[in-house]
């Protein structure tokens, strides 16, 4: 299921590259959000997590496993996701480069868990 989120993130990224105005921004915002949830669901499935605080549990398990770099990247990705989902005037630009970067971070976290 987590691969589905990342695939949608990549499709939204491609849509954003072809779009203009609000549609472009909304596609990039949604891509970042889906990339974040792709990571969370991957961690949930990988570590067989159960419970309602998937965000906190994911960070805690990365910390416990000594994967502090991945934990920090998850935190950054989560902050970007919060801005993408909730902020009308975000402190980051939702453009092609930013979106590509956060999708890369999501893939990097998942790859790091597999190693």
Span 41-80, pLDDT tens digits = 999 999 998 988 999 999 999 999 999 999 999 999 999 9
What is the structure's pLDDT at 114?
84
- Could you identify the residue written with the tokens 């630009």? 93
Q: In angstroms, rounded to a whole number, what is the distance separating the alpha carbons of residues 87 and 102? A: 17
The DSSP call for residue 15 is H
What is the structure's pLDDT at 23?
97
What is the structure's pLDDT at 1?
60
Q: Is residue 3 scored above 90 in pLDDT?
A: no
Three-state SS for 34-83 is HHHHHHHHHHHHHCCCCCCCHHHHHHHHHHHCCCHHHHHHHHHHHHHHHH
Q: In order of start, what are the domains of the chain with their CATH numbers?
A: 2-114 (1.20.120.330)
């Amino acid at each position: 299921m987590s691969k589905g989120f990342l695939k949608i993130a990549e499709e939204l990224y491609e849509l954003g590259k072809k779009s203009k105005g609000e549609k472009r921004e909304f596609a990039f915002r949604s891509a970042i959000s889906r990339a974040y949830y792709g990571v969370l669901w991957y961690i949930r499935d990988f570590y067989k997590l159960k419970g309602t605080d998937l965000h906190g549990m994911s960070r805690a398990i990365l910390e416990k496993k000594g994967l502090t770099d991945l934990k920090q990247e998850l935190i950054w990705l989560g902050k970007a996701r919060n801005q993408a989902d909730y902020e009308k005037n975000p402190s980051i630009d939702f453009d092609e480069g930013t979106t590509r970067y956060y999708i890369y971070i999501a893939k990097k976290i998942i790859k790091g868990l597999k190693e």
